Amino acid sequence: MNKILTEKYSIDKHLQFEEGPAGFSRAILTHDSGARCEIYLYGAHCISWKTPDGRELLFLSRKAAVTDGAPIRGGIPIIFPQFGSGPLIKHGFARINFWDVAETGISERGEIFLKLRLRTTNAIYDIWQHHFILEYTIILSESLTTSLRVLNNGDSLFSFASAFHTYFNAGDVRDSSIEGLIGCEYIDLIRESRRDNEKENQLFISGTIDRIYLNTPRDLILHNRRMKHRITIKKVGFKDVVVWNPWEEGSKKIKDLEDMDYLSMLCIEAAHCQPQCTLAPGEFWLGVQVLQYIRE
Ligand code: TA6
């Protein structure tokens, strides 16, 4: 598998394929600045994004399993076509399917890109009777851009939810805050889905949080005081933002997290989940997230 991928898609010094646990292939992207990221074809799952000075900006659980049928705990899981629980497997099937490489390259500005594709298979059609093509493009420069294009290539309408369920390396989550959500209405999933409005300019996390913020602004900032940096999060197409941290009790209940992992992670998820997005035949939706690291 890696031999074929290497022959067809590798780029000298910039994009290589490796075999991870269970023989799963992953792509390693390296930008001229020294920035680096790693993506499994399984789930189109980015598990690592490193700055030119070698700082890891994503959280990946040491207990993360990379095995067929299970999602990888950490990095950037892709949620599609269902957010949370429902008729399908939790958070949908995109994160537990093998994606194909569609294209790789270097732009005129020296950005390295990898495009992955997932389309309806017989096994997927058995559980979700729609025809779609997903294209996930990851672009590495000094920043990390990810985009998801959802095309309805069938002959009937379908609705879906989607998210980049990004696990940021929080350093210590108690010293992190999210800026940009003030005034936004949210659904509080740990309080019987009660609705409220965000009152904090800097949202600090000091306990379990699981909220869907609705119709959020394009720009957010994650301040990471412990690691002395901030990450700007720009998103287009994803109108919602999910903020999740299971805190200590929650971490203990999640088998692929260590008990204290809640301190090291913070999920800020560019999402389109409330309401779902509907596509007529031939229509597509595009969601983009741009993450930029700024050292302080
Ligand atoms: O996005 C937040 C959330 O839906 C939480 O409710 C929590 O369950 C989390 O995702 C993780 O879900 P997972 O299926 O990956 O364990």
Instruction: Kindly list the catalytic residues.
Output: 165, 269
- 22 pLDDT tier (thresholds 50, 70, 90): confident
How far does the chain reach from its first CA to its final CA, in angstroms?
Answer: 42
User: pLDDT for 45-78, tens place per residue?
Assistant: 999 999 999 999 999 999 999 999 999 999 999 9
244 Cα nearest atom in ligand 1: 2
- 110 pLDDT tier (thresholds 50, 70, 90): very high
Distances in Å between the alpha carbon of 150 and those of 27, 101, 162, 270, 278? 22, 16, 10, 15, 11
| Residue 42, number of CB atoms within 10 A of its CB | 22
- 2 pLDDT tier (thresholds 50, 70, 90): confident
Residue type, 165: H
65-86 burial, b if ≥16 CB within 10 A, otherwise e? ebeeeebbbbbbbbbbbbbeee
CA of 21 to the centre of ligand 1 (A): 23
Given a cut of 90, is residue 20 above it in pLDDT?
no
pTM of the model: 0.98
User: pLDDT for 214-235, tens place per residue?
Assistant: 999 999 999 999 999 999 999 9
77 Cα nearest atom in ligand 1: 15
User: pLDDT for 271-287, tens place per residue?
Assistant: 999 999 999 999 999 99
| Residue 127, number of CB atoms within 10 A of its CB | 11
Separation CA 47–CA 50 (nearest Å): 10
At 7, is the secondary structure helix, strand, or coil?
helix
Contacts of 275 (CB under 8 A, 6+ apart): none
Q: What is the pLDDT of residue 48?
A: 98
CA of 43 to the centre of ligand 1 (A): 16
DSSP-derived letter for residue 99 is P
CA of 84 to the centre of ligand 1 (A): 7
Section 145-150 average pLDDT: 98
User: pLDDT for 190-199, tens place per residue?
Assistant: 999 999 999 9
Q: Where are the alpha helices (DSSP H) in 35-133?
A: 122-127
